[in-house]
Structure 1
Amino acid sequence: MATVAEDSREVTAQACPPGVASPVATLQPAGQVDVMTEFTNVQGTLFFVTSTYSTGSVLWRSDGTAAGTVKVKSFPGPPGVYQPQHLVAVGNTLFFQVRTDTTGMELWRSDGTPGGTRLVKDITPGAQGSVLTNATELDGRLVFFRWVPLPGGLAGPELWRSDGTAAGTLRVRTFNGMTGLGNYTMKVDNALLFFFSEDTGTTLWRTDGTLAGTTSVKRLDAGLTYLTEVSRPGEQPVFILEDGPNYEVWKTNGTAAGTLRLDSFGKRVSLLGTLGSHVYLASLDSPATRRLRIDRLSLSGGGKTGITTLPNPYASDERAYPAVRTAVVSGGDLYFEVDIVNDDPVPADVSLWATNGTAAGTRQLFDNPYVEYGYYYPLFATGSGQVLFGGTSQPIGPTFPYFTRGSTATQGRLADVSSPNSFIRVGNRIFFTGIAATGDGQLWSVPATFSCPPGLTEARE
């Protein structure tokens, strides 16, 4: 297994000229910018949420124009308490959860108009509210779990579905006092896969949103194990189970015969993603050196293969160790961000890497050695060969949107707007939020396929 050279190439930036990416609309005036999140594509219309502690939260919609970027409904109250969250698109309807003083936290829907933005059903009548999780679109309906109190102070899940009407929002089934529903779910074709980890065993389940179609698929372990991670939507369904000191990597197609353990690691591993016929994983090589090791597993079996080990420039600090922040697949490469975690509230470093599955093809693209609290480091594959990310070339200051095509020679700053967040593709454009030089919170967009001229060695300040 090879080791990446310790002296990564210095990153040079090339800046897109004005107009490639452009502001769509101002969402929050200077001094009131707080949260701009929950980007959701509803059949070509962008929905998102802005929040401030002084004015509350707002649900927006946008068709990509200034005139077509409008407030749908305002929700007074502090963010995180009365803020629309868990936005899910089902056909031309947006589902979300929001808390009001009358109903508590409950399920809402919106068609993009103020009158069409309303409570679906007060599932738990009164101000107490409901605990709803894992909301997912499934065959034209919303499927979710509702947690109900059980004796002994525990809570157990119920499976529900909704067509957006009160009458069509109903319980599909209960699970006989089982409490160990995992936090992660996966979609395979028209089925939702979920996991129960109980003292009596760990089991994979599936549902199509009906009682008859909600069944146990396979018992994965005779004892209690914990689901730690699942693959991203659109990739080969892979998941990791923590079984004592071992971390088991599994694949599934939603059937008993197609749910197989690929291999086991005697230490914590995290998913990077799949390329071709292999799944790639990251782990610490040893407690002493604290470097990030990359391995791959064949999806058809055959054991693990070590690919490379990344350098840790902070290895002299016994508190500092690397951890994968997020990863995406673009073309024939896996792009992933690595945090150097320590005892501080923020990482010591956030770096962007890419790999094609070989040691020679594993390279560092960008480095943020001066991480500050409150800044974002998003990572997004455009689907057009380019990857967008947040970074900065300055020792002190906010992050900016950057692009890369997989090398330091083909990347640079995308636009002069700081703190980019929540990249999303809607049709042929990419949308994101950021803070203008004036301090205003803005919605921006850029064509999904864009080309910026080379030759600019420094991004504009």
Structure 2
Amino acid sequence: MIVLNNHIYFSAFSDTHGRELWKSDGTTAGTVLVKDVFPGIASAHTIGLFKINKTNNRIYFVANTNVGEELWVSDGTEAGTQLVRDINVGAGSATPMLGMAKDNKMYFSADNGINGRELWVTDGTQAGTIMLGDIYPGGTGSTPQSMTVFNNKIFFVANAPQTGEELFQTDGTVAGTSLVKDLEPGILGSDINLTSAVIVNNKLYFRAHTNLTGYELFVTDGTANGTELFFEIDYWTDGFPVIFKPHNAPLDGSPTPLFQNQYFFFTGFTLDHGTELYISDGTRTGTRMVKDVNAGFSDGVPYALYKYSNTHLYFTAENATTGLEIWETDGTAQNTRMVFDANPNNTNEGGLYLITPDAIVNNNLLFAGPSGDEAANRLQYDGFIYQRNNGTLPIFVQSFTARLQAQTPVLQWQLNITSNNNRYQLQRSADGVNYTTIESYQPTQGAVTKTYADVAASALQQKQLYYRLAIENNNGSKQYSNIATVTMPNEVYGVRVLQQAGKPQVKYHLSKNNTSLQVVTATGAV
């Protein structure tokens, strides 16, 4: 189903018309047949609905009639619903596979019965429906697939006799359709996946395979020189990255909506850690594993089941204690945690929890999974509502740092606060284990940047000091930021050594906070 001009368009069956294209405005009277494409009880089997909702407000779909499976277009009226072009002339079927829309044109693959399955484009008219080159000459066809819009062009994967399946691009003309780069030189191809590709900083990030790297994360700026390996997750084996593309990512080539306007997530495999969650800002130095959820070489994030919110990524993860459950992260290891144990009695296999694209409603996370109440040998999925306001972390630490300024520790932090009702404390420790609170804060909602000078630290006479933020959850439990350390200065004003032959050595030590006298005998005793 798709929505266009306040109507839902869908395929439905009736005894009178068979399966055809229908629309509805949400009322009984407003639910009507658009057109009986294949007249009578024979079904047109309208499939693959795809809309272009810019200036021409059209729906493209594939229908089967006496000219075979061909491409049709509709503006929502009976008169405006018509065959675009009989691509495979006669009763043969072109069987179009719709790909991507750009600039009021639809890009798709089709088989005209002569050239095999190749890339086509249409503006909705017969004259404006053309094949964009015979990439694999003859009747074999290049089988274009995995299309995405980037750099004001359509990027896609196609099979050519000299290169195998590689990355191609088109500007909508025959002359402007070309190979981007043969990542795996020769005919083997690089098995590129653009389905979950993301656009960050005017570059396209995607998964590909070469004999040298295995399956890893690649990047392109649209040129051959700018198409290369981006991040090798594991040198010794396939990293097999799976990008967590936001469900609201635009299809028109606009930049991908990034997590916290900066990051995207993906999973990757290493021999040491198994499959775990990674985060990237589009730079190699800014790409890292978030957390080893399932410590050791076992998989922690084996499925690409996820949902982005404004402040968190929710995802399915597992460990040896709880099995598969719902987790959340703000991109930091310390704030990556399980949020709900739906099946607490099962420590080995929690079950597969489903997170739909519309899973967050009124700040509640909706998901389903087996709760452990099902009868033996029967998998039963129960509905759950995880309330983000109840027992969850309302304050998200963006950064927490410490530095020494004029012999005084200065702490600085940046927070994203989603609740007005939760306190947090600045804590200090002399040993990194036992902490005491030195300042408490009642936060206000929004982005917060604070600085604190610990002027009392010099009186502690400690060489090393440890600091952290302690954040109270709504249920009374606490979460902690990273630990920031400061090395205090010795502040030595003078050391004098008094030595005479055959006499004890005397060391006199003077600093800001203490004075000491040390006597060393000729035998070395202190």
Instruction: Tell me the TM-score normalised to structure 2 length.
Output: 0.54
* 8 A Cα contact 1:143 1:159, kept in partner: yes
Give the counterpart of 1:243 among 199, 207, 210: 210
SS at structure 2 position matched to 1:300? coil
Q: 2:241 matched to 1:269?
A: yes
Q: For residues 55 and 286 of structure 1, what CA distance do their matches in structure 2 show?
A: 57
Instruction: Give deviations 1:81-126, integer Å, cap 9, x for gaps.
Output: 96322221123110011223x1222111222234433322221123
Give the counterpart of 1:283 among 244, 263, 268: 268
Q: For residues 230 and 137 of structure 1, what CA distance do their matches in structure 2 show?
A: 15
CA, structure 1 residues 115+381, in 2 after alignment: closer, same or farther (shift >3 Å)?
A: same
Q: CA deviation at 1:59?
A: 3.1
Q: CA deviation at 1:139?
A: 0.4
Q: For residues 22 and 314 of structure 2, what CA distance do their matches in structure 1 show?
A: 31
Q: 2:291 matched to 1:308?
A: yes
Give the counterpart of 2:328 among 354, 359, 366: 354
* 8 A Cα contact 2:292 2:300, kept in partner: no
Give the counterpart of 1:329 among 308, 312, 335: 308
Q: 2:129 matched to 1:144?
A: no
Give the counterpart of 2:227 among 259, 273, 278: 259
Q: 2:176 matched to 1:193?
A: no
SS at structure 1 position matched to 2:146? coil
Give the counterpart of 1:299 among 282, 297, 300: 282
CA, structure 1 residues 205+385, in 2 after alignment: closer, same or farther (shift >3 Å)?
A: farther
Q: Which moved more, 1:375-384 or 1:235-244?
A: 375-384
Matches within 5 A, 1:366-385: 377=354, 379-381=356-358
Q: CA RMSD in A?
A: 4.5
Letter in 1 for 2:9: F
Instruction: Give deviations 1:116-159, integer Å, cap 9, x for gaps.
Output: 33322221123331132342211011121223567xxxx74422
Q: For residues 350 and 117 of structure 1, what CA distance do their matches in structure 2 show?
A: 48
Paired position in structure 2 for 1:173:
133
Instruction: Give deviations 1:237-287, integer Å, cap 9, x for gaps.
Output: 321002247112122343445534212242222112453444422135559
Give the counterpart of 1:94 among 59, 75, 83: 59
Q: For residues 387 and 199 of structure 2, what CA distance do their matches in structure 1 show?
A: 21
Give the counterpart of 1:163 among 103, 123, 127: 123
Give the counterpart of 2:167 among 199, 204, 207: 204
Q: CA deviation at 1:226?
A: 0.8
CA, structure 1 residues 212+352, in 2 after alignment: closer, same or farther (shift >3 Å)?
A: farther
CA, structure 1 residues 408+61, in 2 after alignment: closer, same or farther (shift >3 Å)?
A: farther
CA, structure 1 residues 376+286, in 2 after alignment: closer, same or farther (shift >3 Å)?
A: closer
Q: For residues 51 and 213 of structure 1, what CA distance do their matches in structure 2 show?
A: 42
Unpaired segments of 5 or more residues in structure 2?
A: 246-257, 347-351, 393-473, 475-526
Instruction: Give deviations 1:16-75, integer Å, cap 9, x for gaps.
Output: xxxxxxxxxxxxxxxxxxxxxxx3233543323356999954533233555444443568
Letter in 2 for 1:271: I
Letter in 1 for 2:309: S
Q: For residues 44 and 99 of structure 2, what CA distance do their matches in structure 1 show?
A: 18
Computing the radius of gyration from Cα coordinates, the structure with the larger value is 2
Instruction: Tell me the TM-score normalised to structure 1 length.
Output: 0.60
Q: For residues 96 and 311 of structure 1, what CA distance do their matches in structure 2 show?
A: 45
Instruction: Give deviations 1:302-335, integer Å, cap 9, x for gaps.
Output: 37422223349xx8xxxx9963244443323333
Give the counterpart of 2:80 among 116, 132, 146: 116
* 8 A Cα contact 1:230 1:238, kept in partner: no
SS at structure 1 position matched to 2:216? strand
Identity of aligned residues (%): 25
Q: For residues 42 and 231 of structure 1, what CA distance do their matches in structure 2 show?
A: 25
Q: For residues 152 and 281 of structure 2, what CA distance do their matches in structure 1 show?
A: 26
CA, structure 1 residues 126+241, in 2 after alignment: closer, same or farther (shift >3 Å)?
A: same
Paired position in structure 2 for 1:220:
183
Q: CA deviation at 1:188?
A: 1.6
Paired position in structure 1 for 2:469:
none
